[in-house]
Chain A
């Protein structure tokens, strides 16, 4: 639901600039940044804001994303609010430190622009870069459009700092990162009160003699993961609450799993990121032709909001999982995850795993419409299907 237009501070922004605005409003203390297409406009915009005295974080431009993440972790360990951004190769280069950050429980917020990893080289929207990080312990959120990206990056600081888990927010290369749309900018004081500074349960503090992340015995290491598990379980509820509160403040409500026209649906699309926009349009067209279609947008991917997904999908006859990613040897990652999330529930939908848009190929609304027509009432297929 949107707020009345007159109360809004609309600006034409692409997705990356919307992120930079969100970060500026969230006012981190430290921001280590390293350029990579198609993330670079986030970095450039923040540096431009800083040159205009509109953003006063300590900016670091080290020699690699690896060092950017290392600096981010250590700055955060001292209690600073920290932001960084990357994409594809940069995210993959950080991999070791992504595990480290989560284990160290540093509430860093990172924006990742989903892009195909090499080889071969490519610069196209595909989510395998971040999905391949699903076991690192980062909360992962996926955004549909520039407004979603701005709202989500702000909320991410709240989630990170209340759970002491790092949060990765993602949007698709170009479809979102470089697409210009009207974006409502919330007021600075609104964001400030939405993001109060929270005291950490553990941080590096002068005079404590406490060592962080020191070599631990098996039982302590095990306990660290149990603690993470507890924190992860809190995330869907916190995201839901943050999304409602944000809705009260801005008119834009969000949730871990969002649905569109699902109530009486016979077939639904389940997807993440910009594909949700295409699917939304397909749903409308299908409804016009009398097919009761719906959309399930998975905004929160880690932790996977299993209860919410079961809730919205139980009783739906068919679900087309649209994966803009490919995990070699298995198929679409969301498809795999949904299979396990829905295992054993009553009235589970027939699931169809469709590899749509892998490598950034365009998936027009018509393709989704005909897929829904084809799979409506079909028998379940366990293997993923490549869509032209």
Chain B
């Protein structure tokens, strides 16, 4: 029996370091190798991720073989997603996961199913494998550096952050997280990538800790990705 073809995935985040880390984590969740489609996608920070997402989805749908798009953004000071937001038709206007999911839903709804595939059907590419680009959305609370510190610093969790937000006094700042990860608030890009990869690689083979400490931001991403296995037959 022929091994299933690797999934073709696109990834949108805020920096090359985030991308490197997310790409590794996605591989761990999927438990299978995947191919990056359009590896040059990038957004300029939060508001532009939301603004550019419809165009990226249309592009991936019509012009590429991408099976899915993974989007991960920092929460910064915004509202953190909660299980209550998962209620049918619920949408929290301050929550970035809710907002990104809404963009996915609205954009994909208006695209024709089974888009004409650019490549002719051959034995290598028998058919388009998806009707729509699959969605995976994650939220790093408050920033990717929190995920990098997971398992190293037990005080850094989504719960600690949201409790701090509710009390009006956040337990740590983005700058502090940067210090702890990079030893400086102003890391060079290669240093940032190196540290990001070092830290997420610790989670190889065991994502429980990350899912436990970041149940909404990372958990949502992992749940989205796992649902793909069912949908895509992988």
Q: Do A and B come from one complex?
A: no
